[in-house]
Structure 1
Amino acid sequence: MEPDSTRERLATWLEELGLVDHLAEAGLPSLARADDGRAVWTDPRTGGELDDAQVADLDAVLHQEGSDPAHAVPVPLLQIARQARVHDELLASAWHTYESLARLRGATLERTRFAVHKAAGQHRLLVVTGPSGAMVPAFQLDADGSVRPEVVELLEPLLAAGMDVWRTWAWLTRPAALAAGLVPAEAVVGEDPADADVVRRAAQRLARTVAGNG
């Protein structure tokens, strides 16, 4: 295949998959379209355009997953893209800053900040760092801003095991295969004790997996 067609084939393929914006995060050359529509691949280290040999290498890297290279997909890129979509969905859900949580609790900002840090350090509150700084997801709180004790039963094992906070947020608030398709944070505070037991045991199993103990 001619070098130029390889550049265009790769560009069109990644554009159709919606993965172009995630190339840099994966440490791969970036893609842009020149004024004439030509695909331009840029080396992130040098800032220069890739030569034919480098484009061929990139082609091989992106098609190395799967038993059939002609139909393989760039799995790491897909994973990064999926994670980005999950982050966007979580950021669109309800969450608090220190200031908004302080207002909800009717407490001072300093007292709220201290309480959040203490609870997070004890694995009793999920706090993530996002575009606006520290974020306290609202799913784990009741109407007055206190942490739901039932949710703490899920948080403690996962956070103590070292599970990534974004992954923890996603697992608790989305249907989980390990929890029989239940949404853990909803099931644990629901009316069915059996469902609550299912998600508690699922959290324990996931924590052991994260910690490397089975």
Structure 2
Amino acid sequence: MTGEAADRAERLATWLEELGLVDQLAAAGLPTFRRGHDGAPHWADPKTGEPLTTAQVAELDDLLHQQGEEPAHAVPVALVQLRRKAAVRAALLETPWHSYASLAAVRGASENATRFAVHKAAERAALLVVAHEGATLVPAFQLTDTGELRPELGAVLEPLLAASMDPWQVWTWLTQPAGLLGGAVPHEAARDADELPIVRHAAVRLAERARAADA
């Protein structure tokens, strides 16, 4: 790269570092960089691993600065959204969840029988199951002390899962304060028989929005 191109590559790398968005580049399918012994960023194509050309660095720079009326002060919104999603998922993973083995222990059943039961329940939209790094997670908030689905949550889960919503989104909505419920946490509010119909209605509305967005 020429001196000007190298400066642009450095400015782009520094900007992303300052925004804390470097880790989201790969997740977005964009070129990534690593800093060499000289401290300079070495940008690489995500498909070939080959160094980016001057033109490719310029194209990436323009792409990430295209949002907003003032490109110099733009923020790559898609990367910010990916960072937020990653943060939310990390927080969810810190809350209790079960593997097939741990759920089997709670249920007093074999792991194979538990695996079969979990799959069948998921097919009926009667259990929230989340895939993560090749493993299957069963969030514990939805379960009783004996490892079965809380009875009151069946009517709440069904519209969300039947709408083929992202399981991570379902997990997030059910365990975080929800605007549709005036800031109440859905799965907690559902414990109150008077609040359960409201939670169910909010779940139906959310499912409808999800379907409309996919249409």
TM-score range, shorter chain: over 0.9
Q: Deviations over 1:138-157 (max 9, x none)?
A: 00001111101211221100
Q: Aligned to 2:147, what secondary structure does the other structure show?
A: coil
141-150 or 105-114, which deviates more: 105-114
Q: Name 1:39's counterpart in structure 2.
A: 41
Instruction: List structure 1 segments (4+ residues) > 4 angstroms apart after TM superposition.
Output: none
Q: Aligned to 1:70, what secondary structure does the other structure show?
A: helix
Distance 1:132 1:162 in 2: 20
Distance 1:16 1:148 in 2: 44
Q: How does 1:1-214 map to 2 (within 5 A)?
A: 2-131=4-133, 133-189=135-191, 191=192, 193-194=194-195, 196-212=196-212
Distance 2:187 2:175 in 1: 6
Distance 2:134 2:58 in 1: 40
Q: Give unmatched runs, 5+ long, in structure 1.
A: none
Shift of 1:81: 1.4
Instruction: Give the letter for the 1:187 counterpart.
Output: A
Shift of 1:192: 7.0
Aligned sequence identity (%): 54
Q: Aligned to 1:211, what secondary structure does the other structure show?
A: helix
- Verify the 8 A CA contact 1:105 1:144 in the aligned structure 2: yes
Aligned length: 212
- Verify the 8 A CA contact 1:182 1:199 in the aligned structure 2: no
101-110 or 154-163, which deviates more: 101-110
16-25 or 43-52, which deviates more: 43-52
- Verify the 8 A CA contact 1:126 1:155 in the aligned structure 2: yes
Distance 2:61 2:115 in 1: 49
Shift of 1:123: 0.4
Instruction: Give the letter for the 2:69 counterpart.
Output: S
Q: Aligned to 1:41, what secondary structure does the other structure show?
A: strand
Q: Give unmatched runs, 5+ long, in structure 2.
A: none
With the length of structure 1 as denominator, give the TM-score of the two structures. Answer: 0.92
Distance 1:26 1:142 in 2: 38
With the length of structure 2 as denominator, give the TM-score of the two structures. Answer: 0.92
